[in-house]
Amino acid sequence: MAIVNETEASSASSVSEAATSVHQSGNFKFALVALTSLFFMWGFITCLNDILIPYLKNMFELNYAQAMLVQFCFFGAYFIVSIPAGALVGKIGYQKGIVTGLGIACLGCLLFYPSASFASYWMFLGAFFVLASGITILQVAANPYVSVLGPAKTASSRLTLTQAFNSFGTTVAPFFGSWLILSTSHQMTGEAAPDLVVSAAAQASTVQVPYLILAASLFVLAVIFILLKLPFLGQKLPASSAKVLGSAWQFPHLVLGSVGIFVYVGAEVAIGSFLISFLVQPDIGGYTHAEAAHYIAYYFGGAMVGRFIGAAVMQKIKAGKVLAFNAICACLLVALAMFSTGAMAMWALLLVGLCNSIMFPTIFSLALQDLEQHTSQGSGILCLAIVGGAIVPLFQGMLADHFGIQLAFILPLICYGFIAYYGAKGCDAPRPRF
């Protein structure tokens, strides 16, 4: 998530403010180190969703569509909270916004305890929404904060570096989740009473300790950011009296880019959400849930490695071409996973993570090109498009219930097809003149 988890905030209108003075002060180096921990943390937390989905599915005897409500609630928070979060950060600044986001995310983690005690799926969904709301505020504050902490010409490289640590979090999380959640749940399955409520309550208790640990970690980070003396940035300046002509919606490459963000986040989250269920199939891997969880690290680890490779490649090759190439490769790999079995199908799907690596930041940057005074509005539109992570997995769950897991991957295949079109042609759509 990796994802999910890399968005430019809708408060990006203040990205360039005071960048020169911050750079000259030299304080940004320590601030960047502190901010990097946030990128790791929310990548870690987001990836745990992929561990919990099959866990909750088995515990509450859900179908695939019902299990995908986890991602619907989590990424739906981006759509609902992004604009209010931008307004909040514009009033209190980046540092206080980060503290607020950490506090709300901490509360979301704590809510997993009563959710497990009552063995209530709906309470779990509420906890996911609160947790994601905090992470959304973190992203709204942290992404532009990274951009202004240093020279403008190196802003992209700083974001790429911090996002690499985000991917590191998504790579480590599967081992944590497998060890503390799935393995314990597997051991308890045979011991639980036959009554469903008792069994669910017994299994649910295995998530309490991991999320209490996460809550404590987020609380410690919040205290650290309260005590840190960081450059005070992020409050919006009074609106300019200059009249702004037109709207960001009049730029075809932005509109197509927002669709690209929607389908990319949707495809990445959907594949990650179904990986464990896919790998435990007898004709694919035949693994236990705990064993299959380890392989999620390959999916997100590929994205981390691919970022470093992609950053070097795009210095010499046009970004749109690299995007189209990666998307075409993703289409071929997903098709191979759909129509083959065994190790070939398994590794084909895992390698999609490598193709995902450069997609989000590349689509985002291509969509914002030439927007000028409409950049802030365009950034907000792209931020809202992350709701694809809520919609696409839900529809894939419905397909899986009716046609099986493998054939349901036709939906991510279509998503990557659109991304290939955007990289090849859509990003070069004519710009309007005002």
pLDDT of residue 396: 97
As a three-state string, the secondary structure of 175-206 is: HHHHHHHHHHHHHHHCCCCCCHHHHHHHHHHH
Which whole-number Å values give the CA distances from 142 to 37, 40, 87, 170, 414, in the listed order? 11, 12, 14, 18, 32
Summarize the confidence of residues 376-393 as an average pLDDT. 87
Would you tell me the crossing angle of helices 410-424 and 319-339 to the nearest 10 degrees? Answer: 160
Q: Is the distance from CB of 204 to CB of 186 less than 8 angstroms?
A: no
Which whole-number Å values give the CA distances from 9 to 129, 145, 385, in the listed order? 19, 10, 12
Q: Is the distance from CB of 53 to CB of 273 less than 8 angstroms?
A: yes
Q: Which of 147-161, 230-244, 349-363 is modeled with the greatest confidence? A: 349-363
pLDDT category, 237, cuts 50, 70, 90? low
pLDDT of residue 218: 94
Summarize the confidence of residues 369-376 as an average pLDDT. 78
Q: What does the pLDDT look like over 19-48, one tens digit per residue?
A: 444 444 445 677 778 888 888 998 899 889
- Cα-atom radius of gyration of the chain, to the nearest Å? 21
Which whole-number Å values give the CA distances from 361 to 76, 272, 309, in the listed order? 20, 19, 14
Q: How many CB atoms lie within 10 A of CB 432?
A: 12
pLDDT category, 384, cuts 50, 70, 90? confident
Q: Is the distance from CB of 234 to CB of 95 less than 8 angstroms?
A: yes
pTM: 0.81
Mean pLDDT of the chain: 83
239 pLDDT more than 80: no
pLDDT of residue 167: 80
